[in-house]
Amino acid sequence: MEYILHLAILVGIYLILAQSCNLTIGLGRLFNLAHVASYALGGYVTALASTELEMGFERCLISSALVAGLFATLLGGIALRLAGDYFAIGTLAFASIVSSLLINWKSVTKGVLGIPGIPRPEIAGVALYDNVQFGCLLGVIVIASLVILYCVFSSPFGRVLRGQAEDQLAMMALGRDVRLINTLGFLIASVFAGVAGSMFAYYINYIDPSSFSFSEMVFLVTIVVVGSPGSFWGCIAATFFLVLLPEPMRFIELPSSILGPMRQMIHSLVLLAVVWLNRAKLFPIQREV
């Protein structure tokens, strides 16, 4: 039962993280490789605020979302001036800066040793040490996040984001400031990545930079691509499928040194297969005037 609950919590965290990633990479076709950096910032803000500043759950959660949102605004303001492949490289550079800070700013982040002792959230004076209680809290946050994201996906804003992905020139000719729309898309996605990071830190009670590596970004891209970029329900199905896919391997008697890399290999092979099969239609190419 504890194991199933653990998987449910992981799926819940990834539902928020992947769906927010789907907003930029999937719906907006903006290859933001710094999404995992927003997730990391969310996690570290909660870790530091709850351990060093002894801030409560609500304030930690909001601070994580705000810091991640601020990061996205900065990222959007600079990287969105770059187009296409250059944009992806620009976001990769941002992700690398955040990763370096987490490893090397030891006085704050404690480097590769990470931050231990993150307390469980406390709601109305009750600490949610029990995973069932924590799962219920997470469930509420996941449902609220998905409802908000669904509204964004199906709103005029979502339509503009989808339209500019296909033809930015035509969208500008219809009076839409594409850069502003994309920055807003970034902001919303990053805020939810921050929320996911915060909940991750609260659940694991300990974070270090290895939880936010580039392979985590590859995993998010795999979910978005497998679920069909921009598809809200596809992303949900893909999150369940890919988070749970490697789990049966736990029951095979293999050393952990093999099991760990195999999880990443399975995800990468799934990504490769889906990209290969859908190579003609996954990502549209922008035309020129």
Partner 1 sequence: MLQVSDLHLRIGEASILNGVSFSAEAGDSIGIIGPNGSGKTTLFNCLSGFAFPVKGSVYLSGHDITHTPPYARAELGVGRVFQSFGIFREMTVMENLVVALESRAGILKTFFPWSMTSRMIRAKAKEFAAQVKLDGRLAERAGTLSGGQMRLLEIVRALAFGAEVFLLDEPTAGVSPKMKDEVAALINHVQKLGKTTLIIEHDINFVQSFSKRVLVLDQGRVILDDSPENVRKNELLREIYFGK
* Residue among 260 and 284 whose Cβ is closer to partner 1: 284
Helical (H) or strand (E) element with 282: none
- Can residue 231 be called a binding residue for partner 1 (CB under 8 A)? no
Spatial contact of 29 and 284, defined as CB atoms under 8 Å apart: yes
Binding mask 265-284 for partner 1 (x = CB under 8 A): -------------------x
Indicate whether 260 belongs to the interface with partner 1 (CB under 8 A). no
Angle at 240 between CA 230 and CA 226, to 5 degrees: 40
For helices 131-154 and 232-244, angle between their N-to-C axes, nearest 10 degrees = 150
- Given the rule CB under 8 A, which of 30-38, 86-94, 96-104, 162-170 is the region that contacts partner 1? 162-170
| Buried residues in 181-215 as b, exposed as e (16+ CB within 10 A) | bbbbbbbbbbbbbbbbbbbbbbbbeebbbebbeee
> 270, 223 in Cβ contact below 8 A?
no
CB of 77 to partner 1, least distance (A): 16
Q: Is 160 in the site for partner 1 (CB under 8 A)?
A: yes
- Residue of 127, 140, 151, 265 interacting with partner 1 (CB under 8 A): 151
The residue within the footprint of partner 1, chosen from 130, 166, 250, 265 (CB under 8 A), is 166
Q: How far is the CB of 210 from partner 1 (least distance, A)?
A: 38
Binding site for partner 1 (CB under 8 A): 151, 154-157, 159-160, 162-163, 166-167, 169-178, 284, 287, 289
